[in-house]
Structure 1
Amino acid sequence: MSLSQNPVNILLVDDNVSNLTILKEVLDRPEVNIITSNVPGEVVDICLAEDISIALIDVKMPGLSGFELLNQIKQNPLTENVVVILMTGYSMSSEEVFLGLSSGAVDYLFKPLDMHITNAKITSLLTLVNYQREVEKKNKELEFYQKDLFQAVEEAKKGKEIKENFLANMSHEIRTPLNAIVGITNLLKTSELDDQQKEMIRLMDFSSHALLGIVNDVLESFQIDAGKINLDVTAIDVTALFMSVADTMRPLAVEKGLVLHHNIIGEVPAWVKADALRLNQILMNLINNAIKFTVAGQVVVTLKVGEINDGRTALEFTVKDSGLGIPENAIKEIFERFEQVQDKSWQKFGGTGLGLSIVKRLAELMGGSITVNSVLGEGTSFIFTALFEHANDLVTEIEQPLSPTADELSDLSHVRVLLVEDNVINQFVAIRILQQWNVKVDCALNGLEAFHKVAAQKYDLVLMDTHMPVMNGIESTRKIRTELPEGKNNIPIISFSASVIEHEQKEALDAGVNDFLEKPFHPQILHQKIVSMTKGRANPSAG
């Protein structure tokens, strides 16, 4: 710690002027500024005016003793930090010594003064004062830095909120028209079409889902940055998940003229603890990437069992393609956001540059890692490795891909739904889908209108959009739950929203929403939720 270079002000107080003169000469040195006074009544004012750090005060003075002066200095909040040494020329009792020290003096000097001892004590006190000054200086700097840090944190929070609000709005604004496109596409699929029209619908379906994938990647990347991705670890049949992913992606490979093989090497544990959704996301992203950048040949997906230790197994998932290969100097870059291989042969495949970045960060979140082996012109292998804890004592089923059946999409003519949606096109799409199952549909254009309709009529379920004019879906849900009578206030409500921002979902849950349905949605998911939400309600819409 460096000591302060500013002179230290020392005050000498004695009614004997000769004593003051001698003491001043003895203590004089470059690093101090000595001030003297033989008038006790002006000492406090001098301390204030001259910023006194050390005061040597005679005990026995006419009018005002050294003890009384000491009390005045210590009782004033502006001078209480002055370091005081009492000087006395007569023998003092232990009670008197105790009185001075307990009143705030740090030491005594006895007359006649030993100048060597006096100088040594002043030198020690000067060191102490300079350390105190340095501490005060650092404290002030710390306060300044704390203010700057606080301001920076507040600005960061504000920037984060602005970014989150922007992404929420972007999600809503993009997903809303996408919902219309996907919905109309689904409706057209059920129409009578010739081969050319079927092909156009297929292309429209592919393009809309590709655009939806880009939106999801942007939001997923933001949520990972914000630390809002939490793993939902359950017991899963990793073999079934692996084979399901391979089977799901195989048609995409076949459509491009490629062959997709899958292999399992070793004895895979029956059940492991993992986040099925995130593991599925990693594998599908890697396989989709391999298919995308492979012009001819094959994609081989392998699950290999590694070391088994302490109830955990190392599993290695490899996705190998016969594609273009990646230049060695570009391998590190491909995992960075928005980075792509700067080569014309790669750029023609397009993409956002987010997919592999998300895969890498999800792998790290799962405690695993991603490595790459690639040879230009021969192909690339992406290897995801992680340790998985065994979960043989739990029983869980892998969620199977949706496949419409007559039983699942059963007639729902007994159900009456209130659709709360301000977008006319999305309203049209939802009504047509619901009418395919003979659902009775009523509409409201905002949350306030929805509240009044639920209050006046009987419904089995409410499909509630989130972002609407007049009153949004969260406010409307809260109003229904808190202001309507029993029997009305417990109506099932599905939040029907184009926004996937986490805090909005939490607000909706807190308001009383029962479930969520993201836009764009798969008709079968909506059907399943309606069946689940209305099951067991005894003639809810009767009367």
Structure 2
Amino acid sequence: MEKINILIVDDRPENIIALEALLQRNDINIISTTNPNEALRLSWEMDIAIALIDVQMPEMDGFELVEILKSNPRTKEILVIFVTAISKETKHAVKGLNTGAVDYLYKPLDPYITSAKVDSFIQFVRNQREVKAKNKELEANQKELIKAKDLAEQGKRIKENFLANMSHEIRTPINGIIGITQLLKRTPLSDEQLEMVNLLEVSSNSLLGVINDVLDLSKIESGKFKISRAPTDIVKICEAVIDLLRIPSVEKKLDLTINLDTELPKMIYADSLRLNQILMNLIGNAIKFTHEGSVSLKVEILDRKGNNVKLKFSIIDSGIGIAKENIDKIFETFEQADEQTTIKFGGTGLGLSIVKNLAKLKGGLLEVQSEEFKGSTFCFTNWYEIFKETTVDIKPIEEKLIPLSNTRILVAEDNPINKFLITKILQSWQIEMDVVENGKEALEKLRENDYHLILMDTFMPVMNGLEAIKLIREGYASGKENIPIITFSAAVMDTDKATAIAAGANDVISKPFEPAVLHKKIQEYTKTIG
């Protein structure tokens, strides 16, 4: 790290010694002088970043010295801190700041304040110099970067649009085929017909899996893919993946094992769907490329910090392995380890690309160690917050939930399943309600009717919940600006909750939610109702 030069100017040597002792550290050079003229020479010859200058000095006072420094292009950017024993009156401070100083230190010096101020200015200088260096670097490469960026974005847009559109177009008929297949299985069928329908179902699900992979990839690359963390039973996730993949491992006569650290927390905050996807892809791949021997999932704790734990998921196989020169290639979209892989084993080459992107989105690290013909080990490492379980039993509480009659609520929710659940829950509490599907409809309903509270989903078509809340708070429905609003959100990140509160929400409930939590919040925000 480049050292920062700090100049100390004081006509009393004992003051210089005291300041030097206070500021001594490895990342700075301290240059000192008792002579203002010498200070000018040093400033012109050396790269001085910060100057601590005494105000009262013979021959030339601090104000005069700083005026000279600020008038010279070579020294005008030096950050000046005046050190003074004169009055703290405003007029003196104003004079110094008008001269060009950035701060004042008053004698006798407080060591903590002095150290803190100098630290902050050192960091400011470092940041400023880093920005300047980056700007020069950016300017030098700007034309090439712009050209490369335009080409990359054009190619990316074409690929994203194609993948997203094709995925959606193909998913619709496939879902129809799967639905019809399931209906057919409920009708009387001969053994031969049932066998054909089962094959049709397997083929349809296999094709849907490929399309889902393509769609996930297009979402990831377009930035539309989000990680939603919620309390997750880590042991249950791992055991479920092993159970699901046990059939193909038995068919290949492989030993599929699981080894879980005995100290694993019961529950962690994680995106269970995406963690499951990572493990399914890695273990499924291991089984696919292992002809004999074993595949094992190992989960261990690497580190702990406060309420957070660092977990390492290792998938170890005795399969065909990967040649050293192909290890990086396997994570590229639509790529396989070599040209024969697709012929021998099938697949699109999307699985590991999706795993790599998911790992990155989750803030984790994906690593691979492999030796050709001896096997591979894929490791996914990530920090997780431990979910501290409450001792409250929800079911007994739910039984005691009192009716909330004479309460009228406006519900804005576009998802049919969520809408159905919320409606049933509120009806069980004898609550009157109106239900709409987007923020725009919610605004119109609020103008027409009176409500005690609004339950608003965050993400909806036409107008999302956050936009609707802002308009309500700005007076869209006159006289109803202060109506209590609770938002539903699938995200549990602090930033997402902060965004909802900043938009004007009174509270946020994370999906999935406990009815008892919703009941308590409705009571809290409608307690004035008689």
Normalised to the residue count of structure 1, the TM-score between the two structures is 0.45
Where relative contact order (Cα < 8 A, 6+ residues apart) is larger, the structure is 1
Structure label with greater radius of gyration:
1
